[in-house]
A and B are shown apart, each in its own frame.
Chain A
């Protein structure tokens, strides 16, 4: 068994171990200290979702991501519209229009994923924290100020990235096959991490990140989508506390 296989087993096992129990001891939301978002003050643009296969990818092995079928998009759209009222701010979908900025926006989406990965791996994950991040206790992450130059984003104050990552490859597949052979575990979409992050378009700072390590779950159903969106937007800056409690 190679080191890669062990790592994949470990990553999977730790994720499952933590999510199998009801008490989630690990931090899953981070925000820039002092950051708040007053209702009615900001225009938020929802970026196109970035779907990623994990770092151990092999030979074209990636499963269709159930989250982004038409039905899921429809449901998520509805759930977001509903959540908007609780977020208290206007949320619009990203439109490339005629700007030709599709490719560069994709690059930013990929970069956001890399940043979110780092936050999760090196700040959220207690066993793996970077010492420099540990003792400073600041939440200092970002994608740089280049976003401010994009024409297609000039009418917004914040960009909301909702990404999903399937940390999944040949070794991951083998792990799941192992469990399948033992019989009966019906994990629908495999090891699945979703996260939502808010980027301040003036500075490129990541002002808020929520990592949802909810596994499986069918986002194409109305309940699944609503639940997923609410979990992803849990702790969204500026939400009234009683509304937060109600949505849980």
Chain B
């Protein structure tokens, strides 16, 4: 049995090696094609870009690890797609971006997605107000939630907009204790610099 175990383990490691590592450094300065989209932003300090992809349209940045601070860039989620790659497509499908959704539907889409995907039973959207996203009219909102998995209370701040029938959304989430405040201003400076590069 030990031999079989060793063989399977070795095979698994062989398959797995490419899946790990490859987190890359985000240097200060303008970053283009975020989430393989036309989104760009200016980082005022160093960030880490995670190799892990949580969905077709999302790119994750972090300073200390995504359970401690996480910036999610959703770059143009089209109508009919969910925000994230569904953990259980068959039994727990996520809500999809709908046609003629309003800006006030954006926080609701995020809330529902988190409740289903992460078991965030305590999720409350706090303030919501209009804001500009790369020059386009959008919504800025704040929220608080607790994931089922680690029961850590987290706060979130986000900005989103529908631009040419696609949803663009940038969120920042971190534990309420200590971490949220730590990198909030770095996140806000990212938001101020958000641009949509015109298509060539």
A and B touch in the complex (CB under 8 A): yes
- Which of A1-9, A38-46, A93-101, A220-228 has 4 or more CB atoms under 8 Å from chain B? A1-9
Interface residues of B in 39-97 (CB under 8 A from A): 46-48, 62-65, 67-68, 85, 87
B170 vs chain A, min Cβ distance (A): 20
A215 at the interface (CB under 8 A from B): no
**Given known A-B contacts A144-B177, A183-B1, A118 and B64 have beta carbons under 8 A apart:** yes
For A128, the chain B residues whose CB sits under 8 A away are 20-21, 23
Question: What size tier do the contact residues of chain B reach?
Answer: 35 or more
Please tell me if the beta carbons of A129 and B178 are within 8 angstroms of each other in the complex.
no
For chain B, residues 115 to 139, give those with C-beta under 8 angstroms from any C-beta of chain A: 119
Measured CB to CB, the nearest residue on chain B to A119 is B65
Is B150's CB under 8 angstroms from A121's CB?
Answer: no
A170 nearest CB across to chain B (Å): 9
Residue numbers of B with Cβ under 8 A of A are 1, 4-6, 8-10, 12-13, 15-17, 19-21, 23-25, 46-48, 62-65, 67-68, 85, 87, 119, 148-153, 175, 177-179, 182
**Contacting residues, chain A, for B13 (C-beta < 8 A):** 10, 13-14, 17
How many angstroms between the C-alpha atoms of A117 and B174 in the bound complex?
A: 14
A16: chain B residues within 8 A (beta carbon): 5, 9
Does A122 reach chain B (CB closer than 8 Å)?
yes
Task: Give the bracket for the number of chain A residues in contact with chain B.
Answer: 35 or more
**Interface membership of A79, Cβ < 8 A:** no
Q: Does A24 contact B (CB under 8 A)?
A: no
Q: A113 near B177 (CB under 8 angstroms)?
A: no
Contact with B along A129-164 (1 / 0, CB 8 A): 111110000000111111000000000000000000
Contact of A14 among B16, B46, B87, B153 (CB under 8 A): B16
Q: Which residue of A lies closest to B11 (CB)?
A: A13
A126 to B68 CA separation, bound complex (whole angstroms): 19
Among candidates A52, A119, A125, A131, residue contacting B48 with C-beta atoms closer than 8 Å: A131
Beyond A57-B119, A118-B65, whether A185 also contacts B12 by CB under 8 A is: no
Chain B residues, Cβ within 8 Å of A204: 178
Enumerate chain A residues within 8 angstroms of B151, measured Cβ to Cβ: 106, 110
Please judge, given known A-B contacts A7-B19, A13-B8, whether A144 and B148 are in contact too, CB under 8 Å: no
Return chain B residues, CB-CB under 8 Å to A143.
177-178
Alpha-carbon gap, A9 to B24, bound state (A): 24
Query: Does chain B have a CB within 8 A of A182?
Result: yes
Q: Which residues of B contact A20 (CB under 8 A)?
A: 5-6, 9
- A131 and B8 contact, CB distance less than 8 A: no
* A193 adjacent to chain B (CB < 8 Å): no
Q: Does A88 contact B (CB under 8 A)?
A: no
Counting from the closest, the 3 A-B pairs by CB-CB distance are A144-B178, A118-B65, A13-B12
